[in-house]
Structure 1
Amino acid sequence: MHKLCVTSETGRLRSVIIGYPDNFHQAPPAIINETQKEYYFGPNCPTRQQVMAELGGFKKALACQGVEVLQPEPLEGVPDQLMTRDIGVVIGDTFVVTQMARESRRDEWLGLLPILNRMRTQRVIKVPDDIVLEGGDVIVDNGRIFVGLSQRTGPDGAAYLASRFPQFEVVPVPLKQLSDGENVLHLDCSFVPVGQRSALIYADGLAEMPAAIAENYDLIEVTKAEQAILATNVLSISPTQVIARPQSSRVNAEMRQRGLEVIELPFDDPPKTGGSFRCCSLPLWRD
């Protein structure tokens, strides 16, 4: 049985489910976000070979840090199982199977069944079918659950978590929409805590700044151009270590100035599907 424990975004990572790349686009993909519209029909379309190589490097880097790395079981007919973050989230000692907005992604969680079946059933809950709640919109950190009100998750998703986890303060974070000129798919495309009390923030992607963010974090501002390459979408493996893309050089330097070790890994093709290191990982256990 796998231990479930996540109470912060930056605690020492012990066990994680990362994306499964080997069946990437073996079935025709559904185009479900603006990033895919940009890349899937041009010469820089992500390839299975490159996705496999980069997920392999990500897996190796995590294992070298002593992290247990798990992956979903491949599902026939599902063209993309890279973004495990969206299909589930661990809150405290409970695994929440989320509910995806797009029909093409609603069966992805079935690839987690071999892992979920080894857990105590009372520690696994599933979001009702009539509520959209995607894991990229959920950040658990030090007694709070931040929930992005985004292109995907709505207020009913935040209300559901508040009803199921009364021991946490649920903080809705309204994000700007495409109609506002901002492409912020999920909360972790605009806000992610790092280190002891810092956070990466693309403030222009927020419709309003919650006091729980403004007053509790040393905010590292991210520009629109940096947000477009998913500079916020990093994965912390401890309070002092974070995995990031080398393209985010200024943001990485800001994190280093705050005492963080930034492990830079090549990761070019997975972001063309809409997510980077955080999106491709689903932590099960953090200290």
Structure 2
Amino acid sequence: MNKLVTMIAAAASLVVASVASTTAVNAGAVLDKVLETKTLTVAVGTDWGKMSFLNDKHELDGYDVQVAKGVAEYLGVKVEFVTPSWDIITSGKWEGRWDITMGQMTPTNARAEKFHFPAIYFYERAVAVVHKGSKASKPSDLDGKVVGVAAGSIFESYATHTFMPNWVGVQPIQYQFKPGQAKTYATTNVAFDDLRLGDGVRLDGVVTAGTIADNAIKSGYPLKVVGDPLFSSPAVIPVLHGDKEFSDKIAAAIKKMKDDGTLSKLSMKWYGADYTTEK
């Protein structure tokens, strides 16, 4: 029996030693691979709107694509894109197939168990939108009114005062108004179709993402955003845990793009507004 216990203990020691050795070998492994292959592999989507899409030349383009190219340029390597589905990306089971992912991921506490978030590169802002002919000039003017929201969205939660954000570093949400009714729609665009009929005809306002509102207004919808954003949620470039050097490089690349104005210019180019700072 003593001999058996000794053998088990010895085997356990070998496993511990093996794990420690593997951890040591993998420290910095991602950055080493990127620099050795001179390639940064980035996961993006082909139909993520202005973030990333296939243009007329059937090439990937968009805000996130150009930010990724900027990161690769900072590292002194070329960029290669892959297009896995979002559920695979968020599973954390990357298995070395890509090094970073774009997609404006919200850094929730649950996701922090799988990923490290070295850099924020975008802030999505929730806004209150009214008809162009509305007398409303601030969100509080929608108190007691009928407000449209996409069903199941964080904007519905905000309108019903049940919003419980759980991203890393979140500040308490301050509700700027309470609708008399939060009317739900399949999509924000359907809500906009009701709002465009006129002030108070079917809706008095809509709560949605600033980028969606800006796009609708540019497309000719007779709408306007009132007041300051209701809240902002950060979007990050996630990486897997275990390579601090690589994370630091990603952080430094985004900081440089912020400091020299590149990030702001890209946001203006693709969204017509600077979404790179929290407001």
* TM-score above 0.5: no
* Larger radius of gyration between Structure 1 and Structure 2: 2
Task: Compute the TM-score of the two structures, normalised by the length of structure 2.
Answer: 0.30
Larger relative helix fraction: 2
